[in-house]
Structure 1
Amino acid sequence: MNEMIWDDTKAFLALARCGTLTAAATSLNMGIATLSRKIERLEHSLQTPLFLRFQTGYQLTDEGKNLLTNAEAMETAAFAFSKSAEKESQLIGRVKVATAENLATHLILPALGLFQQSYPNLHIDLVTDIHTANLHRRDADLALRMVRPTNGNVSFQRVGKLGYGLYCSAYYQKERDDAKDDFIQWGEHYEHLPAAQWISGQLAGKEPIITTTSVATQVTACLAGIGVAILPHPVARPTKLVCLADIPEINQEIYLVIQTDLTQSKRIRAVADFLSELVKTHQDRLN
């Protein structure tokens, strides 16, 4: 059997539905001779007669009738493929972005309105979690993260850096004893975080004044004068907290990570470019 051509299958369907070469050719906006050649080529490719030729028109053979359902299934699949390609080219659909809550709240969300004005049919699903989303497992389409990928079928690039500082309230600063800082620490499930490890080194076995499980609660604890905390600059600077010192040794690189098989997707690329430019534009504020 020779290789079939999809246009020939379309010609077969049109003739089966219309019954005459003239009507079928008109429905496909092609010449009668061209349509006839396509039918003959398809029959030759399948090595099967598909139509009975009469002066009044064409009728399907038994073989043609048996193939009609499969041809219609091909038509449905081709239509779905075409609509999907059209949707992709028009940047329609949803893109799932995984990132840290800090970046989502203080960087991405404030700029998302302008992005959606440019792409009104492109919608973002933000996944924020202290744990790293697994792009290889399809938890997200792309990610803005502070952990360099080491495995999985992903492509990534460094787009910026997130800076940290030691923060406290103005009241705490006025009453502060440098030798006896009360540290606000992360809970035991977050001991792997660079900020938690730095504080553990400062505590040297002593107990923290309090532990929490989110940056938001650490900011609130600082504002309440409970103690000092290591906080990302873009989170702490807009508040009334005082930065006692930059802590450059725990600054984190920001990586844009994309599933490799999605790097050529126009909608994914649009979101990736938006995120990359956002980090670069606001680098002074992030660091």
Structure 2
Amino acid sequence: MDWDNLRFFLELSRAGKLTAAARRLGVDHTTVARRVQALEKLLDRQLFIRTRAGYRLSEAGRELLAQAEAMESAVMSIERASSTADTLSGQVRIGATEGYGTVMLAGQLAALTQRYPHLGVDLLAVPRTVRLARHEADIVITLERPERGPYLITKLTDYVLRLYASERYLASHPPIRSPDDLRGHVFVSYIEDLLYSKELLYLDEIARPRQSALRSTSILAQQAAVAAGAGLAILPAFSACNEPLLQEVLVGQVEFVRTFWMLMPTENKEIARMRVCWDFLRDVAARNQDRLLGRAT
């Protein structure tokens, strides 16, 4: 299969318009259309649905996207081999959700900066969406996949959230044997009108809290409150597993799976320090699958 055709497919999937994809590739828009049509003919599948607003991926296109991105990453890794620790330099700003950025990335990024002593990394670990469109970061890890835009996008990892409470809280409140028992309990949760992603709306799926003892925009603040006995909360397993005062509640009965997406502006993929950070973030997420999926003991 011609890698160039896949490259045109990827650019059109990100831009959503022939003219925008052509501009990034430095070709005429008819070349983009011709290359994509050649790929569709080779695969005997329609990869895009043409609309007045532009091009959006068909089901077959979405299936191909992950494979094409994997090939792109492999090509980038080969190119990255020419960048040595002595020559790689500059600043990279990474935006991430507060929990993932603080609990998982902060320590891992230390290894990256030690490997490349001339590389500087800014980590924005905040309880809100960091926006590429506003140039707030070079690489962003987010809960929601953009539908379109001039971005390189990949699924970074799934992670699980479970229900937790402290031993102190459980000892002083009615027993919890099934989800039905949750109705009379106190919860720690997000401030609903300040939620930055619909992916955080999971509490209503198990129980409408009788009372919220404490609400916070910060998942780490919620975890600290639960550890102190304030109530029950849905927390990421990768974070809660490090808190000895927390116990999982309704083991095997309450679990939510969410996804982290990673994206950066398409033009950044040609910059060596961006490629190195991108591949590093993918590698560490892959190495930490047991913890992210709640399998770590």
Into which bin does the TM-score normalised by the smaller protein fall? Answer: 0.5 to 0.7
Within 5 Å, which residues of 2 pair with 1:7-46?
none
1:23 aligns to what? none
Within 5 Å, which residues of 2 pair with 1:55-204?
90-177=87-174, 178=176, 179=181, 180-191=184-195, 193=197, 197-204=201-208
2:220 aligns to what? 216
- Amino acid across the alignment from 2:279: D
Alpha-carbon distance change, 215 to 205 in structure 1, aligned in 2, over 3 angstroms: closer
Gaps of 5+ in 2: 1-82
- Amino acid across the alignment from 1:161: D
- Could you tell me the percent identity over the aligned residues? 25
SS at the partner of 1:149? coil
Deviation, 1:196, is 5.3
Match of 1:242 among 234, 238, 247: 247
Per-residue Cα deviation, 1:198-223 (whole angstroms, up to 9, x for no partner): 22344437332221221122112111
Indicate yes or no: 2:235 matched with 1:231. yes
2:287 aligns to what? 281
SS at the partner of 2:231? coil
Deviation, 1:135, is 1.2
Q: Give the whole-Å Cα distance in 2 for the aligned partners of 1:267 and 1:109.
A: 18
Deviation, 1:103, is 1.3
SS at the partner of 1:132? coil
SS at the partner of 1:106? helix
Alpha-carbon distance change, 235 to 266 in structure 1, aligned in 2, over 3 angstroms: same
Q: Give the whole-Å Cα distance in 1 for the aligned partners of 2:209 and 2:221.
A: 23
Gaps of 5+ in 1: 1-85
SS at the partner of 2:95? strand
- Checking the alignment, whether the CA contact within 8 Å between 2:164 and 2:234 is kept in structure 1 is yes
Aligned length: 202
- Checking the alignment, whether the CA contact within 8 Å between 1:183 and 1:199 is kept in structure 2 is no
- Checking the alignment, whether the CA contact within 8 Å between 2:162 and 2:256 is kept in structure 1 is no
- Checking the alignment, whether the CA contact within 8 Å between 1:187 and 1:211 is kept in structure 2 is yes
Deviation, 1:138, is 1.7
Alpha-carbon distance change, 205 to 192 in structure 1, aligned in 2, over 3 angstroms: farther
SS at the partner of 2:149? coil
- Checking the alignment, whether the CA contact within 8 Å between 1:195 and 1:250 is kept in structure 2 is no
- Checking the alignment, whether the CA contact within 8 Å between 1:187 and 1:213 is kept in structure 2 is yes
Q: Give the whole-Å Cα distance in 1 for the aligned partners of 2:88 and 2:187.
A: 47
Larger radius of gyration: 1
- Checking the alignment, whether the CA contact within 8 Å between 2:188 and 2:222 is kept in structure 1 is yes
Q: Give the whole-Å Cα distance in 2 for the aligned partners of 1:124 and 1:255.
A: 19
Deviation, 1:193, is 4.6
Per-residue Cα deviation, 1:7-64 (whole angstroms, up to 9, x for no partner): xxxxxxxxxxxxxxxxxxxxxxxxxxxxxxxxxxxxxxxxxxxxxxxxxxxxxxxxxx
Deviation, 1:159, is 2.1
Indicate yes or no: 2:257 matched with 1:251. yes
Alpha-carbon distance change, 167 to 272 in structure 1, aligned in 2, over 3 angstroms: same
